[in-house]
């Protein structure tokens, strides 16, 4: 596939852009940054082709489809020219995205990567952190409710188990014995 054919196939998706990308300036910037990613891919392909054109023709593989002799240097000039055009395009698009971030006054803390051991807080309303118990450090209200319900379930299960064992132990003994033993205790 020639570079012209590749360019037209890469431009076709932008013609059929989803309308969601035109709803706001931020959405448009995100869409443009997706285009920058595709441009970087094309830039790497151009670099690979340019390096291949610099090698000796004897080292070309049978499936490389690289030109020979004078055509090779002409193709190299074309590829390098497109490489630098693409590089300038990427640079201007990245600068445009950064200026949009500056104009939007997005806090640097929203952009800067957090420390390696950072655990994001859970979503939703949370209770004040209990500093004595690090396991509840970043738990929200939903997690606390699940934890509470689990402990209530455990308590109910243990209570039923104790009542079943008590009923079983009372079933094995004579019903008069507990009353006699309680009478003996009173004396």
Alpha helical stretches, state H, the chain = 3-15, 25-54, 69-104, 108-111, 141-172, 176-186
Q: Give every CB contact of residue 154 below 8 A, 6+ residues apart in sequence.
A: none
C-alpha 11, offset from chain centre: 27
CA dist 32 to 8, 23, 94, Å?
A: 17, 14, 9
pLDDT at 184 over 50: no
* DSSP reduced 3-state for 126: coil
- Which pTM value belongs to this model? 0.45
Do 86 and 3 meet the contact criterion of CB atoms below 8 Å apart? no
Alpha carbons within 13 angstroms on the beta-carbon side of residue 64 total 18
pLDDT in tens, 12-71: 444 577 788 888 777 888 888 888 888 999 999 999 888 888 877 767 667 777 777 778
If 0-12 CB within 10 Å is exposed, 13-18 middle and 19+ buried, where does residue 126 land? middle
> If pLDDT is split at 50, 70 and 90, which confidence band does 141 have?
confident
Identify the CA nearest to 136 among candidates 101, 127, 90. 127
Identify the CA nearest to 86 among candidates 24, 141, 10. 10
């Amino acid at each position: 596939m020639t570079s012209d054919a590749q360019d037209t196939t890469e431009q076709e998706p932008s013609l059929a852009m989803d309308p969601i990308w035109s709803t706001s300036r931020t959405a448009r910037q995100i869409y443009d940054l997706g285009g920058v990613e595709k441009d970087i891919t094309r830039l790497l392909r151009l670099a690979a082709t340019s390096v291949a054109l610099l090698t000796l023709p004897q080292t070309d593989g049978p499936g490389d489809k690289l030109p020979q002799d004078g055509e090779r240097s002409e193709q190299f000039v074309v590829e390098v020219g497109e490489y630098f055009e693409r590089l300038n395009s990427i640079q201007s698009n990245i600068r445009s995205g950064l200026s949009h971030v500056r104009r939007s006054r997005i806090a640097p803390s929203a952009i800067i990567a957090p420390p390696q051991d950072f655990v994001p807080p859970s979503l939703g309303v949370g209770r004040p952190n209990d500093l004595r118990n690090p396991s509840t450090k970043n738990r929200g209200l939903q997690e606390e409710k699940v934890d509470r319900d689990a402990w209530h379930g455990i308590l109910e299960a243990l209570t039923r188990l104790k009542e079943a064992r008590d009923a079983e132990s009372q079933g094995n003994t004579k019903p008069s014995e507990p009353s006699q033993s309680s009478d003996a205790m009173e004396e």
